[in-house]
Structure 1
Amino acid sequence: MKNNRNTFKKFQDDNQDARAKIIQNYLHFAKKRKLGFPHVTALAEALAEHLSIAEGKPCSKSTLLRNQKYKAKLVGFMAVANITSHKNGKYDGFSRRPEVENFKERLEITNLRRENERLKILYQETERRKEEERNRESEVLLTGGDTERRSTERRSTIEELQNRHALTCQALHALLTHIEDFVLVDADGERFIDRAKLRNNVIVERRLASPFFVWLRAHRGVLGGKS
């Protein structure tokens, strides 16, 4: 647990040192450009905007003023700046306000770019989902068309097989009628029997003849009751 605390403290210290370096560079820049600030809060506000850009994440002036290490740097800068301004007799608050406004404009541009990128990603995601939905709808339509076509083909095939079955049964019935003296049509046993034999006289057994007898019973009225 102690090692974890030490590691986290080191991480915090490293972050503070990195931020302190950015602050020091900014103060050096402000001194070199002779930027003027009416009070330490105004300096903290401008610095927070600069840190937001430099670190790539929001930073508030209150965060800087609460940290004693950062605040000491800002107060020190203001003290030297005020002494220099009074010596020159031209302290007028934000004497170089355009420079500060430049930071604000850059921050605004950065925020606008981020928002534009977010909207671009959102738009692309919306278009992708629309395209997927259109593809699904097209697939459903195509699949539905294929299903209907296959269903029609199956019905046509079934009807053709039924017609062929009926024609085959009609031909078989005509043949059996013609040779009824030689072949017995056993409707109860659903068999065709050779009348000339007493044993092993089954010509067509029930397993094969059954479909014919189903058709025969269905059309008995049409065939005049003959079986």
Structure 2
Amino acid sequence: MSLNMCVRLIPQVLNNLHCRHAIITNFRVCKNLHPASYWYRFQSSHVTTPKSTNEIVVYHGTLTTQLRAVKIFSLMTSMSGIIAQPFIYNQLVSLHSIPLMVVAWSFFGFFTIGTPLLLHLLARKYVTVLKYKPDTDTYVATTLNIINIPKQLEFKPEDVKVPEVLGMFTTFTAKDKALFVDPRFFENPKHYGRIMGYDKPLDLKLYKATTSDNKK
């Protein structure tokens, strides 16, 4: 029997013996027994998706976009100033005047380091977004740190303290952190009332003035 004849007879033999179905079945079994497949099934069966909490945006700061842009510009100028420090130093040394070097170095140092710090001190209390979680009855306030990255603070109405004398850009303090919000931009004024404690009963302290007549 020639080789060509054997090649022609192989498909007929496989069809007659139903080997095709057996090969497919064995292939599926081997695939399921593969370590990578087993690990994938094990991992998918044990990984739990985090529960999504319902968050309602109750406040959005209108100056958020402008604040981000100003801080980005300040950081870019500071990075440019830091990179240019060696070139500025060489130019100042060539002047051969120590007082002029001190004045010029202080001027460039203030705009390089002092401006981002001063801007952060003024804007660190500004709340860009305030969210409410009905499931836990908590609020999440978002502020910006010195490198313009959002920072969140979660608190409850019980954690809020309204100082008698408000500081600069301070509306209330939550967990000893001063925050600033504008009451005009709350979606629902009741949330502002809850945070500020307006829904609590008034604690009226009545004092009796006692007079004593010592005249005889």
TM-score range, shorter chain: under 0.3
The structure richer in helix per residue is 1
Q: TM-score, normalised by structure 2?
A: 0.19
Higher RCO (CA-CA < 8 Å; seq separation 6+): 2
